[in-house]
Structure 1
C-alpha cells in the first residue's frame, strides 16, 4: 500500500478500506486543503462530507456509493471551511481491490482548483523527513533529461550506487536495454511525465538492475514536483522482488500441480465414504465421456458393469476397513457410449486429523490396449516359433553367458544333437571344436564390438561350407547358420566354367566385344584389343565410347554409331567391314555380326559383337571364281573349237573305203584327216594354255 511518501506533496491523499470502514492513509496536507486534521477525520468519517455544499452533497455521496471496482471518477465541488472562504475542490477517486486482503479500497486525491506554481518541495520539512527516512528507495528525476537529481539513503543501499554515481546516471542506467526501450515507449504513450497538476500516479511494476547486476522488481509511484526550479518527478520504488518471487513460486507450484494432474495419462479419482465421486481428472472424464458436472456426486457403480460390481464393492469395503493399505482391482468399466475398457487400479483410503477415513483415492490406467498387445505378442511369439521351426536354415540364440536359449529343428539335424542337450548349456561346452574356428572368433568379435558379423567357414571334419550371420542384442546373440556346400561347389564350378570360357574366348582369333546402351565398351577379348590397337595405333579401354575410338575417321565413327543403334533397336544382322592394314597398306575384310543383349524382362541393355577376319576366305573365293571362269572358257573352247574339226574328221572317216584300204580315194581322205588332226592339236594346246594362264 502507498505510505507516507505521499505526504510530501501538497495534495490531500486518502486511502479508505470500504469493507472495514477505516482510513488506511491520510496525507498531512489534508489540513491545508480541508481545514481538518488526519486524526479528526479518522475519528469521524463524516467530517469530509459535512464540508461539501448542500447542493452537491447528495449527488457526490451517490456517485461514490455506485463506483465500481477499477472505475475512476473526477468530482468538482465546493467546500465551506469555518472561518475561511469557500474553496473549489477537484476530487479524483478510484475503487480497487487490495491484492493482500482482497478488500475494496477507495483512493482519493483532493486538490484545490486554482492555477498556482508548486512550491519547492525541498523547502518542506515534511518532505525532508519522509524523503530521507523512507524505508523505500525514493528519488527525484528531471523530466526532460531523466537524470537523477536527488536520491535517498535507501536507494543508495538497495541499488549499490553511491550518491555521486546516481547523480551522473539517468533512469535508463538502472535498466537493461530492453527495459529502457519499454520505458521510452511508456513515457511516449503517457505524454512523458506531464500529468495534471497535483495528480498522483501508479506507474506499475518495473524491472531494475542493481550495480552488481541483480534484478529488482519495483512498484513505481510518482508525483510531479518542482525541484530547483525545474520540472521533476518524485518517484517511490517499492521493492516487491520477494513478494513477486513468492507469488510466482506459488503460481508455478499451482500450475505445476494442476498441469501434472491434467496431463496424467493415468486415471485419478476420489470417492467419498458413501461411494460417490468427489473428483475425477481430465483423463478419466475424457476416456469415459463424462463432464465433471455429470460425474461428481454419482455413485461409482455408474462406471461399473453389473457382472463385476461385486468386485468394486469388495475393494471399496477393504479400503474402508484397512486405512493406509493399497487395494488392487482389475475390472471392466463401461464408457458413456457403451464401450468397455479393461482397467487396472490401486486404491488407498485417506484419513482426516482424527484418523477417520474420509475419502478413497484411486489411481488407475486403461489396459485395454495393453491386454490386446499382450495377446498379439503371444500370438506373434507362437507364429515366430512356428516360423523358426519351419525355416530350413539353422537358427539358435545364446544369452550373454553363452547358454543356449532357443534352437530350431534344422540346427538339431545339422549338428545331429538333440535340443535337450543344448538348451541351458554353454555353447563351447556342447561344441568345443568351434572354439578356435571362425565361429569362435566371430562370436567374441561381436561381443567386443556389439555389431553384426557375417562370415563363411569350411569344416574339414565334415567337408561342408557354412554361411553364418550373427546379430547382437541386449539379451545375447542370435545366429543363422546355412549349409552352403552345394552353392559353394556350384559357385566353384561356375567360376571354373567362367575361367574356362574366358580362356576360350581369349584364345580365339575371332574378335568379341560388347557395348552398353550408351555405346561404351563393356567387354573386349584379347584378339579384339590386339587387332584394334594394330589397326588404329590406340588401345581401346572399357567405358570409352566405342564408336568414337581414336584412329578412325568421322565417317567411320558415324557408320559404327548407326550399326550399334540398329542392333539396340532390336535387329540382329551381319555386315562385311573393310579396313586397311596400316603397316602393309592392304585391305582387310571382317565379317561382323551384331546381336542385341536382353535382360530376363526382355529389355535391351547392349549389343554383343563378333568379328572374323575373312580376308583369306574372300581371296580363296575369288580364286575359285577365276578358276570357274577358266573352266567355262575351256568348256566353250571344247564345245565350239573342237567340235568342228572332230565333225570334219568323223565325216571323212565315214566316206573312207574301209573295205579296200588301198583305194586311191582313201589317200586324199587321209590327207584331209591329217589336216583336221592338226587343227584338233592346236585347239587342245589352246585349252591347256587357257587352263594354266587364263588367257585364250
Structure 2
C-alpha cells in the first residue's frame, strides 16, 4: 500500500504538470482571438478535461495494482497452502489462529475449524503456556523477523520441538503474524543416540548444531585432527574469544595442559573406536567439575559438556556422610546388625561382632542364620515374633530382662526396623542397647526425687510455720528468692530480687563488713555463714537481724546456691544493750562500795585499834571517838549514795 501511494502521488504530479503546461500554452496561442466569455468557457473545459484525464489515469493504475495484488494473494495463498512445513497466521492482539495450511493440519492433527478455535498458547504443553503468553505480550509487535525454538503439542497429546520464524504483517487492515514452523522433534533423539546414526549423520548433525545454540550446555565438534569445526555460544564464551577465532583452531592448541588427560584420551578413543563415551573431569584453575559426553560421527566427534560441580559436591558430601555414619555406627556401644527376610546375616557393626565373639567364641560372617546365635527358648520365641512384625512392615521397640551368658542379668532394649526397597520389605535392621545402667540410674533418681519431694514438703511447712525471712540465693544468676517473712518482718512485698537489692539495704556502717565476711566465707568453703547487722525496713527504720545461711556445692566444690534465714533480733539486741547499761551502773555502785566506803571503814578499824580498852577514861579515847564519829558519818553518806543509786536503777528497770 505504501508503494502504491507513492506511485500514485508521483504519477499525479507528472500528469498535472504536463496537462497544465500544455493547456496553458494552447490557451495562450489562441487567447487573442477569443472573447472573455470564450476564455471562461475554455478554462472550464480545460478543468473538466483535467479531472477526466486524472480519473482515467488513476483507474488504469488501480486496475493494474488490483490485478497485481490478486496475483500476489493468489501466489501467497498457493505457497501458504502448499508449503511442506506447517504455516500459521494468527491475530497479534488476541493470539487467535486465523489460517493454517495442510502441513499444519497433518502435523498437529487439527482441522482448520479446530485450529481457528485455538489460541497460540494452547498449542504448547500446559507447563509452557504461561511463559509463552508472557513472551507474546513482550513481543507485540515484532520489530523484525523473529525465530525461536519451543515445544508444541499435537491433538493426540504428543509433544515435539519446533523452530518458529515469525513476521508481523497487515492483512485486510488487521495486524497478523505469519509463522513458518520447522519440526525439530528428531533432534532430541539425535542427541541421545547419535552413535547409532548412519546416512543421516551429517543432516542431523547440522540440526543438532541448531539445537546446541539454544541449550546451556557447552557444545563443539572436532574433526579427526582435533580441529574445532563448530562451537556454540556457551563454549565460545568459555574460551573468551570470538567464534571466528575459535573455529579452525586445534583443540590441543587451546588446551595444551589437557594432553594425555582423561578427556583427551576419551575423545581419541571415540574417534578410533567409534563409540560413545563420557568422563567427569576437574578443572583446578576454576575449581569446577565438568561432565564430558563424546559422540562419534563420520569424520569427527560431537562433544557436550556441562558444569556438575554442585552434583559432585553433593556426592562428596553424601560419601562423607556415609563414612561418618559408618564410623558412628561402628564406634557405637550399641549392637547394630541387619538380616534378610530369611534370617541370613547381612552386616553387623563392631559392637555386634565383638559381643558375638565373646558369647559364641567367634565372629559371625554374612550369610549365617542369625537365629543360631540366640540363647534361651523363651527369648528366641519372642525374638522371632518381633522379627516377623518387622517383616510385615511394623517398627518394633521392646525392653526386656535377659540373663546373658558370661555377662549376667541385664536390662536390654531392642528395636526392629523394616528395610523397605521399592515398597517391599527386604530385611530388618536390629539395634540392641544395654540400658541396665540407665534404668538403675532412673530408679535412683526416682528415689531421690521422692526424698527431695519430702524435703520440699518439710521446707514448705517450716516456711509457713516460721516468721523468719527465708531466702534462697542462686549464685549462677545472682538472684534471691524471698518467702513471706520479708514482708512480715520488714514490710517488703517482693518475691525474687537481685542480690544487690539485699546489699543496698544493709546499714551503711555494717555493709562493708558484712560483704567482706560473705566473700571470705565463699573462698574458705565453710558450709555455714552467720552474721549480725542492721537491715533497712520499708518504713525507713532499721532492725537488727541475725542472718544465717548454708551453701550447696557442685561437683567441683564450687558453691552454686545458698539457703538461709534472717531473724529479727532487735528486741533481744536492745535487751542486751539494756543489761549492759545496768551492768555499767552496777559496776559504778560496786566501785562506790569498794572505794569510797572502804576508806572510812579502814579509818574506823584503825581508830578502834588505838582505842584504850583498858582505861575508858583515857582522854585520848575521847579524841578517837570523835574521829570514829566523823568516819561513821562519811560511811553513812556513802551508804546513802549507794541506796540512792540502787533506787534509781530499780526505777529505770
Shared fold (TM-score, shorter chain, > 0.5): no
Of Structure 1 and Structure 2, the greater helix share is in 2
Relative to the length of structure 2, the TM-score reads: 0.45
Structure 1 length-normalised TM? 0.43
